[in-house]
Amino acid sequence: MSNENFKNQLTDWRHYLHSHPETAFEEENTSRFVAEKLLEMGYEVVTGIGKTGVVGTLKNGDGSGIIGIRADMDALNIQEETNLPYASKYAGKMHACGHDGHVTTALGAAKLLADRKDFNGTVRFIFQPAEEHGEGALAMLKDGLFERFPIDEFYGLHNMPGLPEGQIHSKVGGICASEDNFEIRIKGKGGHASAPNMGVDSLVTASQIILALQTIVARNIDPIDTAVVSCTEIHTDGTVNVIPTNVVITGDCRSYNPEVQSLIKERMQAICENICEANGATCEFTYRNSFSPTINWEECHHTVVQAATNVLGEANVVDHAQPMMGSEDFGHFIDKIPGCYVFLGGKREGEEVYPLHHAKFDYKDENLVRGAEFFAEIVRIKLPI
């Protein structure tokens, strides 16, 4: 197949996926599409891993090494506003994060490897559901992903519309942050707004807690480390002339270091409980680890830099990427086995940049072949003939 025909095929695949978006754990059609393409290429295919996940395996030669490539499949609950001819056919759902491009890129790499057979060992393509809510990787792991389908090293990418088109960015260590969600339930004693002395004002207590939580990053976290504590919602059962009895604060925290995660949780709980006690209120504190930080392994980072340089040229490779505070559940995988996650830039000169999760976002089709060749090159480097 010529390069132009290959590009056209990948573009057709992505446009189909873009127009048929499916959200977390609903990726039935996407899974069928992926499985059919892999079977046509000669892969062994297993479906239903982590509910709607797909694993495709291809062995060539007698090599014992096993390399994994991962793509996330889910869309978002966003009404598309692109007006593209291949825009979403489903109201309120769209591929606003580029996972249609990620799936197509991985399928492209799978095809290159199946056609060329220029590797010695085993490659596995993992198509994961439900990345957006941080549940898909855990669901696949719970289904025994690595026990049933062993992998020596695991690689993935995410498009980044704010980075120059066609560039690969990687780094050693934390590249995507953890995400931990919290809920603080404060119970006081409500009453009439004219007589605050008759009750325990849970809203004032909540206000003190919100301000005090900001001291964690400012005064407890090492300034060299990076962390964010954000209160994002507050709900009460009060009204214009009623002091509330109950207040609920929710939000999330970000960091790159598991020790920082633990410190944030410990300090948050102490602040909440002690401020409530000081004000005569009670507190119920819940803290949930949703996403692990994505921590790139050094050896795997060197592999992606070499692969990207071979495919894209040295000028299009950044080996000291600026990490992002957004989260990515690929981190759950490379907590357990070596791996590396990279960014693929999509910013084109002269064009308006729509960020990830924007209703007008669209993946750059020109990156499909670049990404496919990059993934295939990783496999060739790690599983040489």
What residue numbers does the annotated binding site for Mn(2+) cover? 97, 99, 132, 158, 357
Q: Which residues are annotated as a binding site?
A: 97, 99, 132, 158, 357
Are 367 and 8 spatial neighbours (Cβ–Cβ below 8 Å)? no
